């Protein structure tokens, strides 16, 4: 049977990075083996599932580029099929009706807890005749002896003894099927060969295997992926910062950077850190995924993101950057060509949000000088060079970088100053900051009018500073 994997999120929130990594591993496994990838929305928990969450998950999958060959399938549309299987189990006496009252189950549980036993159903209704007309649940008749052996592709062999499992509920009193049943039926019907999922499901696996065997079917292969931890060693949660995939987009992370970062969380290939999607598909092997949990490291994500930003196509970056500029209230159509700006800024930012922040001055006057930069570079000694630059710039008809460069060099020459003493005050004057792309291209892109206006502002600032410091 050719490889088929699935990603089966419960739509009770956004897609978080842990889910995205599981989705990626499943996707890679399918792609590597030339197989198929299924998306299944496990929305049977009607109280907690929402349409917003379904949309958020689909959006995140699209953003990440994790394309699926089948689905999305919705479990809520498959109730007839689940009931068919439950009825089959009932008919074959592999499941039974149970009408144990809440009180009885509570008392049972309490007694077990007191005796320090694992709480489990005692099989009371196994031999009882419970009719269909009274309120009841359906329980799966779990084998009482023997064991379930799972050769997990990540965790190795895991053995569960059947006497530790109980007869789990597969249909609730309200007629709705439960998770372990729906997953089994779906994995079967969808012909899933490899179940790759979070290790919070390990304990469900023997139950699912027992149901499959009762139906006379072979279980798929399993791989349980360990969880992701925060930098303090506890399970990654909102407390540690962003956990939602789309929040990373909002923070200016590129999807390929997030995927590259996620693939390395718990998987490695030699010492390599950077992988294109094709390389991931080529090198990934589910068996190489670590058993131990891995910790999320934001610094590393930023480093990887910077790599992808540096190497991305400027036209694409410009499209993405325009959204982040929009968030700052800037319409890039009102200033220099964004692709040209991106070409200059590509190497200078770790995220697109950072790039938007350091590029804002191309499109509007900065609010204030960076304090440190102004203090260091906008002082009395800068007055003369700035004034001379202003005079030359005013006369310049051809506002392009070679001419601008020439003007700056000439002023430095005339005043006997090194370039830094002229270019740095000019940079702070024009950009408000001490760091920017090369001064000549910066001037060219900012444009003549804005440059002159900002130099005036810097001169004024120096003027007041000089006065304040006067004896």
Tokens representing 214 are 């009762």
Choose the catalytic residue: 36, 118, 217, 238: 238
Q: Which single residue is written with the structure tokens 């830094």?
A: 420
Q: How far is it, in rounded angstroms, from Cα 200 to Cα 407?
A: 66
Strands of 86-136 (E only): list them: 95-98
- In whole angstroms, what is the distance from residue 341 CA to residue 118 CA? 64
Q: Which is nearer to ligand GLU, 245 or 374 (CB)?
A: 245
Length of the chain in terms of residues written: 471
Residue whose beta carbon is closest to ligand GLU: 197
Judged by beta carbon, residue 74 or residue 303, the one nearer ligand GLU is: 74
**Which of residues 69 and 117 has its CB atom nearest to ligand GLU in the complex?**
69
Q: Which is nearer to ligand GLU, 74 or 366 (CB)?
A: 74
Asked if 238 is an active-site residue, the reply is yes
Where do contacts with ligand GLU occur on this chain (CB under 6 A)? 8-10, 42, 183, 197, 201
Give the number of other CB atoms < 10 A from CB of residue 321: 26
Is 9 or 335 the residue whose CB approaches ligand GLU more closely? 9
Q: Are 332 and 338 in contact (CB under 8 A)?
A: yes
**Contact between 206 and 184 (Cβ < 8 Å):** no
Encoded tokens for 182: 């729906």
User: Nearest to residue 171, comparing CAs of 107, 84, 48?
Assistant: 84
Q: Are 462 and 390 in contact (CB under 8 A)?
A: no
Collapsed DSSP state (helix, strand, coil) of residue 69:
coil
Cis preceding linkage at 72, omega within 30: yes
Among all residues, which ones are annotated catalytic? 238
């Amino acid at each position: 049977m050719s490889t088929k994997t699935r990603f089966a999120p419960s739509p009770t929130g956004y897609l978080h990075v842990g889910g995205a990594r599981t989705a990626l591993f499943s996707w890679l496994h399918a792609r590597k083996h030339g197989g198929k990838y299924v998306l299944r929305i496990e929305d049977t928990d009607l109280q907690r599932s929402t349409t917003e969450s379904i949309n958020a998950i689909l959006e995140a999958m699209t953003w990440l580029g994790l394309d699926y060959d089948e689905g999305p399938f919705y479990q809520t549309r498959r109730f007839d099929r689940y009931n068919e299987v439950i009825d089959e189990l009932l008919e074959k006496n592999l499941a039974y009706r149970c009408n144990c009252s809440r009180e009885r189950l509570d008392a049972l549980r309490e007694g077990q807890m007191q005796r320090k036993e694992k709480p489990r159903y005692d099989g009371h209704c196994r031999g009882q005749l419970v009719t269909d007309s009274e309120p009841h649940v359906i329980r799966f008749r779990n084998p009482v002896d023997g064991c379930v052996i799972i050769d997990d592709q990540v965790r190795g062999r895991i053995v569960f003894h059947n006497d530790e499992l109980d007869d789990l509920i597969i249909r609730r009193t309200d007629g709705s099927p439960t998770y372990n049943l729906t997953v089994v039926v779906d994995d079967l019907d969808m012909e899933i060969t490899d179940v790759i999922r979070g290790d919070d499901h390990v304990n469900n696996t023997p139950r699912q295997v027992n149901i499959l065997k009762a139906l006379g079917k072979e279980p798929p292969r399993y791989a349980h992926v360990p969880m992701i931890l925060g930098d303090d060693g506890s399970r990654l949660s909102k407390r540690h910062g962003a956990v939602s995939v789309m929040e990373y987009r909002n923070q200016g992370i590129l999807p390929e950077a997030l995927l590259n970062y996620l693939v390395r969380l718990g998987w490695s290939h030699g010492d390599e850190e950077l992988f294109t999607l094709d390389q991931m598909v080529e090198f990934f092997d589910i068996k190489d995924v670590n058993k131990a949990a891995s910790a999320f490291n934001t610094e590393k994500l930023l480093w990887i993101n910077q790599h992808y930003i540096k190497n991305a196509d400027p036209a694409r970056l410009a499209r993405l950057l325009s959204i982040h500029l929009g968030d700052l209230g800037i319409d890039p159509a009102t200033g220099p060509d964004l692709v040209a700006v991106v070409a200059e800024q590509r190497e200078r930012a770790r995220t697109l949000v950072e790039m938007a922040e350091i590029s804002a001055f191309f499109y509007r006057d900065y609010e204030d000088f960076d304090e440190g930069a102004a203090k260091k570079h906008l002082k009395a000694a800068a007055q003369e060079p700035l004034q001379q630059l202003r005079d030359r710039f005013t006369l310049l008809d051809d506002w392009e970088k070679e001419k601008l460069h020439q003007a700056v060099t000439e002023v430095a020459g005339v005043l006997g100053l090194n370039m830094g003493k002229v270019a740095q005050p000019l940079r702070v004057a024009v950009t408000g900051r001490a760091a920017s792309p090369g001064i000549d291209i910066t001037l060219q892109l900012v444009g003549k009018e804005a440059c002159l206006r900002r130099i005036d502002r810097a001169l004024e600032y120096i003027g007041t500073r000089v006065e304040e410091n006067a004896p």
